[in-house]
Amino acid sequence: MIARLLHGASVAFLLTATAALAQPAGGGSTGDANKQICRSVSDTGSRLGHTRACHTAQEWADLRRQTRQNVDRIQTRQSMNADPTGQ
pLDDT of residue 77: 87
**How big is the chain, counted in residues?**
87
Half-sphere exposure of 53 (CA within 13 A, CB side): 19
pLDDT tens for 15-24 read 565 555 554 5
- Of 19, 13, 17, the C-alpha closest to 53 is 19
Q: What is the spatial distance between Cα 72 and Cα 51, in angstroms, rounded to a whole number?
A: 26
Give pLDDT tens digits for 29-42. Answer: 556 778 999 999 88
